[in-house]
Amino acid sequence: MTCPRIEVDLGKIRENCTTVVRRLKARGLSVTGVTKAVCGHPAVAQAMLDGGVAGLAESRISNVRRLRRAGHRGPITMIRTPMQSQANQVVQHCEASYNTEIVVIEALATAACAKGKVHGILLMVEMGDQREGILPENLGAIARHVMETPGVVLKGIGANFACLSGRAPNAAQMAALSVLANETEGLCGAVLQTVSGGNSANLPWAFGDHAIGRINDLRLGEAILLGVDPVSGDPLDGMHQDAFTLVAEVIEIATIPALSQIGLVDPALAKLRLFSNTPDRVRAIVAIGHQDTDISGLSARGGHSPLGATSDHLVIGTEPSTLSVGDEVRFQMTYSALVRAMAAPDVALRQVHELPSDCAQQSSTRAEHLALV
């Protein structure tokens, strides 16, 4: 079978969605499924929709186009502030986008008017992550500007946490976002349809017993795909952590005297103390490397330990007689390993159905509506 490849169990993704959608619905929150980590893969997007997400969100127009080519007609929101140079395409393929720059909003408005469309604008507010966002004190003026601009309509506001800072939002920050929603409405007379609280890092807050306030949506990728909390890396209750597996093939086996003598151990891995000094272990070379994934985000199933890697080779330590040339080694991936493997041209994708329930079947039948590209 083609190697390297990602095996994806769509039934598990669907179940992860069902679980998180049900738990958040009880708290008054809807879920927008974020497909950027899988490059807008249409079947994965469909599994999210089958699991009950309210809509899809993407960060790259190329991924949105892939979804549209596959026949997806539902709403797609652009979550990265659109490039000014892509305003036309964003208006063409997305119902709405998150924005932080007036010049870009104006470019979207011009493009929308030219097409006879109205494009939805959500304003992203900076609340501590120090990545994207309008400063809270400038939000009212920009919101009013959007209200006065033909071709665009103010749909909501949102914030993003933990992406750059690595810090999950606290209840006070979330309460402040609710206050901003009320103030913005007061200032410009609009009703904000969406107040989007953030990404997977918000789940501990959302599952807690804090007041939800005005927040009515979360944008979730990692939690749905990998079943983990991105800040702590801890598995989320009742979610599958193994919807994705990376499979690569062994191309060489050798017994080497002492691994500490290799001297080629990847510094990142060395820092993680992944290498072992046990003498006379067997070393296997697997045909995958930095060009294919984030090697430091792989953990091998079956007790093999990654020792070091180059662009095309991954050296793993293993016990004698456990692996032969031609064998496949299976790895669990972190988010960054998944993102890079999904985008790597030499990594294939194969759908598997471990879940015997009708959900795997249902999503594959439904996926037939979408041409897999």
In the numeric block, which tokens belong to residue 5? 């490849």
Q: In angstroms, rounded to a whole number, what is the distance separating the alpha carbons of residues 244 and 33?
A: 17
- Residue in 192, 86, 90 with CA at minimum distance from that of residue 139: 192
Residue 221 sits in the site that holds ligand PLP (CB under 6 A): yes
Instruction: Give the total of residues touching ligand PLP (CB under 6 A).
Output: 13
C-beta atoms surrounding 209 within 10 Å: 6
CB 100 to ligand PLP: min, Å = 11
Q: In angstroms, rounded to a whole number, what is the distance separating the alpha carbons of residues 156 and 98?
A: 9
Place of tokens 């979550």: 79
Q: Which stretch binds ligand PLP (CB under 6 A): 216-224, 265-273, 320-328, 357-365?
A: 216-224
Residue 104 sits in the site that holds ligand PLP (CB under 6 A): no
E-strand spans in 100-228?
119-125, 152-159, 194-196, 217-220
With CB under 6 A as the contact rule, the residue among 169, 230, 297, 317 that binds ligand PLP is 230
- Residue in 289, 294, 287 with CA at minimum distance from that of residue 340: 294
Q: In angstroms, rounded to a whole number, what is the distance separating the alpha carbons of residues 353 and 26?
A: 29
Binding mask 45-84 for ligand PLP (x = CB under 6 A): --------------x-------------------x-----
CB 11 to ligand PLP: min, Å = 20
Nearer to ligand PLP, 158 or 306 (CB): 158
In the numeric block, which tokens belong to residue 303? 């007790």
Nearer to ligand PLP, 206 or 314 (CB): 206
Q: In angstroms, rounded to a whole number, what is the distance separating the alpha carbons of residues 373 and 371?
A: 6
Q: Which residue is nearest to ligand PLP (CB)?
A: 221
CB 330 to ligand PLP: min, Å = 23
Nearer to ligand PLP, 91 or 338 (CB): 338
With CB under 6 A as the contact rule, the residue among 200, 245, 296, 318 that binds ligand PLP is 200
3-state secondary structure of 32: strand
Residues 6 or more apart from 255 whose CB is under 8 A from it? 280, 281, 282, 283, 320
Q: Which stretch binds ligand PLP (CB under 6 A): 106-114, 222-230, 270-278, 285-293?
A: 222-230
With CB under 6 A as the contact rule, the residue among 199, 293, 296, 363 that binds ligand PLP is 199
Residue 23 sits in the site that holds ligand PLP (CB under 6 A): no
Nearer to ligand PLP, 239 or 250 (CB): 239
Q: In angstroms, rounded to a whole number, what is the distance separating the alpha carbons of residues 55 and 218?
A: 11
- Residue in 140, 79, 141, 88 with CA at minimum distance from that of residue 119: 88
CB 199 to ligand PLP: min, Å = 3
Q: Which stretch binds ligand PLP (CB under 6 A): 85-93, 220-228, 276-284, 362-370?
A: 220-228
Residue 243 sits in the site that holds ligand PLP (CB under 6 A): no
Nearer to ligand PLP, 156 or 221 (CB): 221
Residue 222 sits in the site that holds ligand PLP (CB under 6 A): yes
CB 230 to ligand PLP: min, Å = 5
CB 195 to ligand PLP: min, Å = 14
Q: Could you write out the DSSP letters of every residue in 33-91?
A: EE-GGGTT-HHHHHHHHHTT-SEEEES-HHHHHHHHHTT--S-EEE-S---GGGHHHHH
Q: In angstroms, rounded to a whole number, what is the distance separating the alpha carbons of residues 157 and 216?
A: 11
Residues 303/319, Cβ–Cβ less than 8 Å: yes
3-state secondary structure of 352: strand
Nearer to ligand PLP, 91 or 203 (CB): 203
| Near ligand PLP in 307-336, by CB under 6 A | none
With CB under 6 A as the contact rule, the residue among 72, 219, 281, 304 that binds ligand PLP is 219
Residue 160 sits in the site that holds ligand PLP (CB under 6 A): yes
- Give contact residues for ligand PLP (rule: CB under 6 A): 34, 36, 59, 79, 160, 199-200, 219-223, 230
